[in-house]
Structure 1
Amino acid sequence: MTMYSPTLAEGSGPLYKELADAIERDIENGALLPGTRMPTHRDLADTLELNVSTVTRGYKEAEKRGLISATVGRGTFVSSDATASTSLVSFEPSMPGMIELGLVEPLHDLDPDISEGFRRIARRKDTSSFMRYSDPRGMPEHRSAGAAWTARFGLEVEPEDIIVCAGSQHALACTLSGLFRAGDRIATDALTYPGFKTLAAMLGLRLVPIAMDEHGMIPENLDAACRRNDIKAVYLMPGVHNPTTTTIPEGRRTEIAKLAQWHDLLIIEDDAYDLTDPGRIAPVGDRARERSVYIAGMSKSIAAGLRVSFVAAPKHLLKPLAQAVLNTIWMTPPLNVELAAMWINDGTADRVVREKRAAAARRYMLACDVLDGFRFRGKRSGFYLWLDLPGQWTGQALEKAAHKHNVNVFGSEKFVVGETPASPAARISLTGPGSLDELEKGLGIIRKILNQRP
């Protein structure tokens, strides 16, 4: 525990906010480092001559900003990602010639032919139905297509169990806003999708990191966390984990499902990259249907611009999920969903998935050649790698060094949850570059950087 004594700025604002501001300043200037254990509420109150309740509110405000995280029985720590941007997309224009090895793109040159799709739709007599308000759950024929698409992920459901959302991020937003309240705790892998982290923070939800190994989330650690905390749900990416590419094996999926039943957890599964790997294991929630929300997206495997995703859920959760759709966008644009449904039903979607796997496999083999001698994990037809960094390199250090050479990568700090130590690793996108030549150039620059001292 540090002998931390922040300097509170004199102002007219509440003292608890001034404390949170001071913590934020000290993290930014390096006075508080990621992983540092903070003083207890009582100790800091005595140091600053404040009420304990003021420090408690200040800590809660700092936690809401993602600056610190508290674990029952362990204390409060500076978040490992407190100094890292968790955003995957910059709103600033990219530098000319920047090679994208950070953002995972869905190989857009292999997307279905949208012009042909629109021509087919235009020949129909009922096209005006796509321009009207419709059921927030989705049109019946679109929910049927959603059930068929969900089956591609190994989950058989009825069309009545499907909610149509505007992409997987919207599906997550509807799930979290519709089924949880501010302050609720959700267990997640110690490394997880940054979009889930920022969404949870926006809604005031608290994430509890669960340790992982080479097979994904460790059931014993999930069990221990549930015994220490009042956890409402567990968020998983069991097929191809983002960022580590780990696949949870069947036996462990059964263990996690049993724990969810024992501790009354909702299972949220977001298998955005599952179709990039031809192997198929039934989702965790298939073993506990009454407490499972499964998100079957189309962005990474078919076309990101459609913004179509299908949520499979038990009947007692459908109404709040539909209400969340209504509260956010009223309904997912039916014209977009009609295109997606048409491609699902006529086999176009399956063909595109096969073609993108084949293209990704060529990129993976190229990466194996360029990064020979380095340790990394990935799928043979996957869209990204999880690269272990040598020597004294950290993810953030690689991000900064690569950026100077016009290459964008994502260090492990973007993905860590709470006080979880950031491993010396980085996620390397294989599908961000527009061509194999550009990918080879970007990977070559990364190799050259890592052969130097940080």
Structure 2
Amino acid sequence: MAIWIPDLSSREGPKYLQILEAMAEDIAAGRLAAGTRLPPHRELAYQLNLSPNTTSRAYAEAVKRALIKGEVGRGTFVRSADFSPDQAEPETLLRESRGPIDLSRNLPLPGFSEPHIRRVMSEIASDTGLRALLDYQTDTDLVHHLEAGQSWLADCGVEASLECIVPVAGGQHGILCTLMALLKPGDLLLAEALTYTPVLAMASRLNLQTGAVAMDAQGLIPEAFEACCREANPKALYLTPTLQAPTTVTLSEDRRAEIARIADHYGVILIEDDVFGPLKCDKPAPIARFAPDLTVYVTSLSKSVAPGLRIGFLHAPRKVASALRQSVNLSVWMTPPMPLEVASRLIKDGTAARLAEQQRQTASRRQQLVQRALGMDTAKQFSDGFHFWLPLPEGWRADVFRSECARMGVHISEGRSFAMNAADAPEAIRLCVSHEPGEERLIQGLDIIAAVLRQKPCGTPLTL
């Protein structure tokens, strides 16, 4: 049987879209029947005199649109007509049991928490204090919420007085409130060269300038931070020193102490995002311990207890705690009392700590699955968390690798997604092992990634 070669002579636009349009038309017209095996993208590239990157990108987009599917060791096939596009790449964060395998989302498993939250909600429903939770609150109305935050912070290594604790609706809300309270338009916010990119979106909304601080294999480089302080007069530095997103690096205690010293010398505010801290065994002391008068420490239950429990706590220097509370008031009026009550009860009865331990054990087991699938030579990339960072073999481009994995039905994130300066992004990918609830699909996805890694890399510049 002749292989499918689309006629692109009368089409316009980017070549990969021309291929996609031709494929869709031939499927709709019956010229490509369900189950038809398509040529390998490299063979199609040769036949069309195009870069393999172009055909790989076309196939990846066709997978997203549920036109085709890739099967390891067999090839790429036209999907059956009854396959719903909704199964291809869901717009929701809900965890699907069919369709592409999602290793791109860094969310913890929610299942451990369900029976415990159900129990706590039942207790709240029958409690005489329910009425208070349905009314407007201030931080001082229900002191036991602050006491729960104090206990959670202590488990994270931060000793806090109640007046320095600010409950927030998750870590991201806490970061936003911090930026709103302590920086003004035009101020310079520094961040690691590879960072949690919603922070950059926040900075843009608040009309802040941003600058990247160089990193090495051990994380943020203190000397690079000091150079930025000398040359650019930054107002604040945002960083994730524990299980850094996306590289998984945990800063050593020496580097933490040196960053604190530099910040103190130049009067720079430190925003220490430690939402992954509860997942890390034997982590160094928080930077907040070294620079308590300059550091806003951000923690949350979302990454270690339940992703839908959008509750976190800020520990702030006493002189700025009031400004942070005003930011909470401005953004949501008050941290919702009901989920705050649920979180507080889970913390106080020890359930939250046990759930965090279950997440740690699951992360460890899934990291072992990754190691078995990808080989011992990748062991140095592993950490205690649910994501890991994989520099690609020489010759692979991250965007091409991501497209090839998508063509085979696995979604991952490329390094460029986290880079403050896209031109400086490394050719690397981030894989997350917790979004898929079942280990069977996770293993299947890891096997596909391992198969793609074994392919001959294609470094040809992308042709559109």
TM-score tier, shorter chain, comes to: 0.7 to 0.9
Q: Match for residue 301 of structure 2?
A: 298
Q: Match for residue 98 of structure 1?
A: 100
CA contact (8 A) 2:243 2:383 kept: no
C-alpha deviation, 1:384, in angstroms:
0.9
C-alpha deviation, 1:391, in angstroms:
2.7
Question: Percent identical across equivalent pairs?
Answer: 33
Q: Which amino acid aligns with 2:196?
A: Y
Map of 1:305-316 to 2, 5 A cutoff?
Answer: 305-316=308-319
Map of 1:20-99 to 2, 5 A cutoff?
Answer: 92=91, 97-99=99-101
CA contact (8 A) 2:101 2:411 kept: yes
CA contact (8 A) 1:277 1:379 kept: no
C-alpha deviation, 1:137, in angstroms:
7.2
C-alpha deviation, 1:212, in angstroms:
1.1
SS of 2:353 mapped into structure 1: helix
SS of 2:308 mapped into structure 1: helix
Map of 1:104-119 to 2, 5 A cutoff?
Answer: 104-113=106-115, 114-119=117-122
SS of 2:394 mapped into structure 1: coil
Of residues 276, 279, 282, the one that matches 1:279 is 282
Q: Match for residue 144 of structure 2?
A: 141
Q: Which amino acid aligns with 1:181?
A: K
Q: Which amino acid aligns with 1:410?
A: S
Q: Match for residue 209 of structure 1?
A: 212
SS of 1:238 mapped into structure 2: coil
CA contact (8 A) 1:377 1:387 kept: no
- Per-residue Cα deviation, 1:331-373 (whole angstroms, up to 9, x for no partner): 1111100110001000101111111111111111110000005
Q: Match for residue 382 of structure 1?
A: 385
CA contact (8 A) 2:248 2:383 kept: no
C-alpha deviation, 1:379, in angstroms:
4.5
Q: Match for residue 365 of structure 2?
A: 362
CA contact (8 A) 2:188 2:234 kept: yes
Distance 1:184 1:203 in 2: 10
Distance 2:384 2:233 in 1: 39
Q: Match for residue 219 of structure 1?
A: 222
Q: Which amino acid aligns with 2:339?
A: N
CA contact (8 A) 1:104 1:431 kept: yes
TM-score (norm 1): 0.77
C-alpha deviation, 1:288, in angstroms:
1.4
Structure 2 vs 1, CA of residues 108 and 326 (structure 1 numbering), >3 Å: closer, same or farther?
A: same
2:170 counterpart of 1:171: no
Structure 2 vs 1, CA of residues 256 and 420 (structure 1 numbering), >3 Å: closer, same or farther?
A: farther
C-alpha deviation, 1:300, in angstroms:
0.5
Distance 2:225 2:353 in 1: 36
Q: Which amino acid aligns with 1:167?
A: G
Distance 1:202 1:308 in 2: 23
Distance 1:166 1:349 in 2: 17
- Per-residue Cα deviation, 1:180-209 (whole angstroms, up to 9, x for no partner): 112211121111112212222222222211
C-alpha deviation, 1:450, in angstroms:
2.1
Distance 1:93 1:211 in 2: 34
Gaps of 5+ in 2: 1-13, 16-88, 459-464
SS of 2:297 mapped into structure 1: strand
Distance 1:150 1:112 in 2: 23
Q: Match for residue 329 of structure 1?
A: 332
Deviates more, 1:91-100 or 1:426-435: 91-100
CA contact (8 A) 2:257 2:287 kept: yes
SS of 1:209 mapped into structure 2: strand
C-alpha deviation, 1:122, in angstroms:
2.0
Structure 2 vs 1, CA of residues 158 and 420 (structure 1 numbering), >3 Å: closer, same or farther?
A: farther
SS of 1:235 mapped into structure 2: strand
CA contact (8 A) 1:186 1:205 kept: yes
Distance 1:381 1:292 in 2: 25
Distance 1:450 1:400 in 2: 13
- Per-residue Cα deviation, 1:63-93 (whole angstroms, up to 9, x for no partner): xxxxxxxxxxxxxxxxxxxxxxxxxxx9835
CA contact (8 A) 1:137 1:163 kept: no
Distance 2:378 2:418 in 1: 19
Q: Which amino acid aligns with 1:216?
A: G
TM-score (norm 2): 0.76
CA contact (8 A) 1:131 1:335 kept: yes
Q: Match for residue 288 of structure 1?
A: 291
SS of 1:252 mapped into structure 2: helix
Structure 2 vs 1, CA of residues 137 and 417 (structure 1 numbering), >3 Å: closer, same or farther?
A: farther
C-alpha deviation, 1:377, in angstroms:
4.5
Of residues 393, 396, 400, the one that matches 1:393 is 396
Q: Which amino acid aligns with 1:229?
A: A
RMSD value over aligned CA atoms? 2.0
Structure 2 vs 1, CA of residues 220 and 363 (structure 1 numbering), >3 Å: closer, same or farther?
A: same
CA contact (8 A) 1:163 1:318 kept: yes
SS of 2:299 mapped into structure 1: strand
Of residues 434, 437, 453, the one that matches 1:434 is 437
Of residues 302, 317, 321, the one that matches 1:318 is 321
CA contact (8 A) 1:325 1:331 kept: yes
Q: Match for residue 198 of structure 1?
A: 201
Gaps of 5+ in 1: 1-27, 30-89
SS of 1:243 mapped into structure 2: coil
Q: Match for residue 249 of structure 2?
A: 246
C-alpha deviation, 1:168, in angstroms:
0.5
Structure 2 vs 1, CA of residues 191 and 439 (structure 1 numbering), >3 Å: closer, same or farther?
A: same
Structure 2 vs 1, CA of residues 137 and 442 (structure 1 numbering), >3 Å: closer, same or farther?
A: farther
CA contact (8 A) 2:149 2:313 kept: yes
CA contact (8 A) 2:191 2:239 kept: yes
Distance 1:162 1:141 in 2: 12
Q: Which amino acid aligns with 2:101?
A: I
